[in-house]
Amino acid sequence: MSRLILASGSAIRREIMTGAGLDFEVIVKPVDESAIKTAMLNDGARPRDIADALAEAKALRVSRLEEGLVIGADQVMVMQGDLFDKPTSLDEARERLKRMRGQRHELIGSVVVASGGIPVWRYVSETKLWMRDFSDAFLDEYLSGEGDLVTKSVGAYRFEGPGSQLFSRVEGDFFSILGLSLLPLLQYLRDCGAIAS
C-alpha cells in the first residue's frame, strides 16, 4: 500500500477521506492561488482549467518534497459567467447569497494525484445547483446560525449542514459539492494498488 497524503487544509476534505476509511496524512505547503487564478483569468482560461491548475499546484508542491501519492483538490464557483472567491466577511456572504437566490450556479472541482513531482491522475467534476427563492428572514436566520463558517466555502454555504436548506435542486455528486470527488478517487486508488480492491 502506498503512503497517501492530502495536500489540503480543508476540514471537509479531511472528513470525507477519514469517513471513507483511508489512512492518510495531511501535509499542506503554501501555493499562491491568487496569482495562479489571476494569471489564468488574464489568459482567458476556462473555470475548469483554473480549478484543475490549482489542484495540480497543491499536489505538486507537496509531491516534490514527500514520497507517496499526494492528493490535491480545489473548487471554483461560477454564476452567470462570473468566477467567485470565498467571501471574506458575513456581509459579503449575505450579498453573495442574495445574488445567488433563485439562480443556478456551478461548482467545478478538480482532484489531482501526484507522485514524484508528476501528476499521475486527475478528475474534474461539474455540479449544477439551484438555490431556492428564500426569504430575507430565512437568510438572516441562516447567517446567524452559521456565523463565520460561511466564509470557509466559495458559495457561502455548507451543503452538508444547514446550507442544504438553501437549495431546490442539484445535478451532480454529493462529494463533489463538498469539494472532493471521492468515488472516482477511490477507484483510482484501487486501480493503482494504493488501497485494497
In the residue annotation, 74 being an active-site residue is answered as: yes
Chain segment 158-169, per-residue pLDDT in tens: 999 999 999 999
Does position 1 have pLDDT exceeding 80, yes or no? no
100, three cell numbers? 445567488
Grid cell locating 153 = 466555502
Cα dihedral sign, 147-148-151-157: negative
* pLDDT score for 2: 87
Backbone angle region of 186, left / alpha / beta, with phi > 0 → left and psi within -120 to 50 → alpha: alpha
Counting every residue written for the chain, the total comes to 197
pTM of the model: 0.94
Report all structural domains of the chain as residue ranges with CATH numbers, in order of start: 4-191 (3.90.950.10)
* Percent of the chain topping pLDDT 90: 98
31: left (phi over 0), alpha (psi -120 to 50) or beta: beta
pLDDT tens figures, 94-150: 999 999 999 999 999 999 999 999 999 999 999 999 999 999 999 999 999 999 999
Helix residue ranges per DSSP H, the chain: 11-19, 33-42, 47-63, 90-100, 136-146, 174-178, 182-191
Mean pLDDT (the chain) is: 97
Give CA–CA dist 81/63, Å, rounded. Answer: 33
The C-alpha atoms of residue 90 and residue 34 are separated, in whole angstroms, by 21
Return the number of other C-beta atoms located less than 10 Å from residue 82's C-beta: 10
**145, exposed or middle or buried, with CB in 10 Å at 0-12, 13-18, 19+?**
exposed
Which tens digit of pLDDT belongs to each residue from 72-100? Answer: 999 999 999 999 989 999 999 999 999 99
Mean of the pLDDT values across residues 32-37?
96
98 vs 81: CA distance, rounded Å: 17
Instruction: Examine the pLDDT at 173 and tell me if it is beyond 80.
Output: yes
Q: Are strands 25-26 and 4-6 parallel, antiparallel or unpaired?
A: parallel
Catalytic-role residue among 23, 49, 74, 133:
74
Instruction: Please report where in the chains the cell 470557509 appears, as a residue.
Output: 152
